[in-house]
Structure 1
Amino acid sequence: MTQHSADLGDRIIKVNHAGEHGAICIYTGQITMARLTARKMVHELTKFRRHEQRHRAIFGGELQRRGQRRCRSYWFCGIGGFALGAITGVLGANAIAATTMAVEGVVLRHLEHQLAILGSSDPAAVAAISAIVAEERQHHDDSASHLDAAAFWPKILTPIVSGSTEAVIWLGMRL
């Protein structure tokens, strides 16, 4: 493995770890508010949060193995994630589904890109990323099945949440 591929793998793992922390916080905010606005979604959101906790542990273990500290954006992702989750949770089931679908859509694109650019240059990073892709896709697809695309919130939230998620990933890669 070259130094460049090791540095890239380290950076990707750091950002993914911070992103998983953000996802846990999004789901925590959504669960908190969904108890009032979308009770039927609480069980599924709790399951998704457990998946994200496992994903964070995978990336955390890989950071530890590499002797790396977590990303500087870790707490920013957590605070922003909780705020996003709480706000969209207050708005109800359609907003929750639209938010999850938008976040996971961006995440899936980034994971697929990461796998392509890392290729065989960083097998440990590829293994960590590959371990979470199926569950991230499940979150996206399950949320899409709940979504009323003709409703108000998906039209407003999808571009805002997608753009914000892209911005947080971009920032994390540069911190």
Structure 2
Amino acid sequence: MGECTRAPSVTDLGSRILKVNHAGEHGAISIYSGQIALARFTAPDLIHELAEFRRHEQRHRAIFGTELQRRGQRRCRSYWLCGLGGFLLGMLTGLLGRNAIAATTVAVESVVLRHLEQQLAALRGADPAAATAISAIISDEQRHHDRSATHLQAGRFWPRVLSPVVSASTEAVIWLGMRL
């Protein structure tokens, strides 16, 4: 069988997932960086929390980066796209203020948490190193979601408008990353 017709192994899937997660963490760092830049003016009380979340995402990126390096894998082709898109999203939502910042984090983390659980189900037992890397970040991502949800004001404009757009965009970036 030629290289092009070979069915991908679970380890190949694990490497692809790790690449996409690594790029996604880079995007998350960029979102928080953009939000922090403008939250100084629109939501200064959130800066400490956003900086804490960004530190978590930097640690997550390092976890995935270390595992990719151990496997001899390059980062995902979507890495810089995630960074640029994340920064622009962060700047926009930072400009829109506290509710937009919180709505963005809740939307992104909802999608991410669902994907992480699906990834673990696919990789558990078949690619323990990838499953371990993914498992290492879930509690932080859940905390980001839950803490941000406490900042949302029910029935407000930005959560209703941003949540579907940010969720769909996050899904699209993950889909694209798995195919690049």
Rg comparison, structure with higher value: 2
Alpha-carbon distance in 2 for matches of 1:90, 1:168: 23
User: Are positions 1:102 and 2:136 aligned together?
Assistant: no
User: Are positions 1:7 and 2:15 aligned together?
Assistant: no
- Helix, strand or coil at the partner of 1:68: coil
Structure 1 residue 149: deviation in Å? 2.4
TM-score normalized with structure 2 length: 0.95
- Deviations 1:4-25 (Å, cap 9, x if unpaired)? 1011000000000000000000
Code of the residue aligned with 2:133 in structure 1: it is: A
Structure 1 residue 119: deviation in Å? 1.6
Report the number of matched residues: 174
Question: Which runs of no fewer than 5 residues in structure 1 stay unpaired?
Answer: none
- Helix, strand or coil at the partner of 1:131: helix
- Deviations 1:15-54 (Å, cap 9, x if unpaired)? 0000000000000000001001000000000000000000
User: Are positions 1:36 and 2:41 aligned together?
Assistant: yes
Report the equivalent of 1:68: 73
Superposed CA RMSD in Å reads 0.9
Structure 1 residue 73: deviation in Å? 0.1
Equivalence map 1:147-158=2 (5 Å): 147-158=152-163
Moved over 6 A (4+): none
Code of the residue aligned with 1:94 in structure 2: it is: N
Alpha-carbon distance in 2 for matches of 1:16, 1:148: 30
Question: Which runs of no fewer than 5 residues in structure 2 stay unpaired?
Answer: 1-6
| Alpha-carbon contact 1:51-1:135 (below 8 Å) kept | yes
Using the aligned pairs only, state the percent identity.
Answer: 71
